[in-house]
Structure 1
Amino acid sequence: MAKSLKQVLSQIEKLQKEADALRAKEISGVVARIREAIDHYGLTPEELFGPGVRGASGKTGATRVAAARKARVAKPARSAGTPKYHDGAGRTWTGVGKRPNWFKDALAAGKTAEELLIG
């Protein structure tokens, strides 16, 4: 039996929502890895995007970096965070910071990050 236009449009909408959710998950992982690399190497906006780059605040990267460094000193200690990944053996990871060895090992063994998500 042929599908109606309404059924096809409904299916497209459902698939688009699924695609948007998958994209959001992938983006959060990419952003976390980029932030980890930026913190690890102490990169500045000028090193990433060239000199004179201005952000949304209208300040150049050097000004923003100096302000961010001052702000870091004044920030209170952060909590450990809510776990986002688990391995089924009681080990968890928030998805922030360096990837734990158990997570890397699971990926090397063929698992995907989505399979390790809690929830």
Structure 2
Amino acid sequence: MSAKKADLLRQAQELEKQIEEAKKAERSAVIVKIRQMLADNGLTVADLASVKTGKTGAGAGSKVAPKYQDPNSGATWSGRGLKPKWVQAALAAGKSLDDLKV
């Protein structure tokens, strides 16, 4: 290995080390800031864990009643999303969705 290449690899390792140290320092600062915000607002980590995110409005995250049932296994499907394999197999065998209705 040439001396130039070895020097560049050493520099790269040193830069990686500096990047990791910077990430740790930044993360620590963010944690301190979040803890202060929690304390200022009278919140705990448990309060954060209890908050559901991503779904809003009436019925968000509610389950839909099954519309179809596998007569062999009893597995159900609401009719939403991808068809389960048992539905695909039944359709391929010549059955219709009406045959699988609950």
Provide TM-score, normalisation by structure 2: 0.41
Which structure has the bigger radius of gyration? Answer: 2
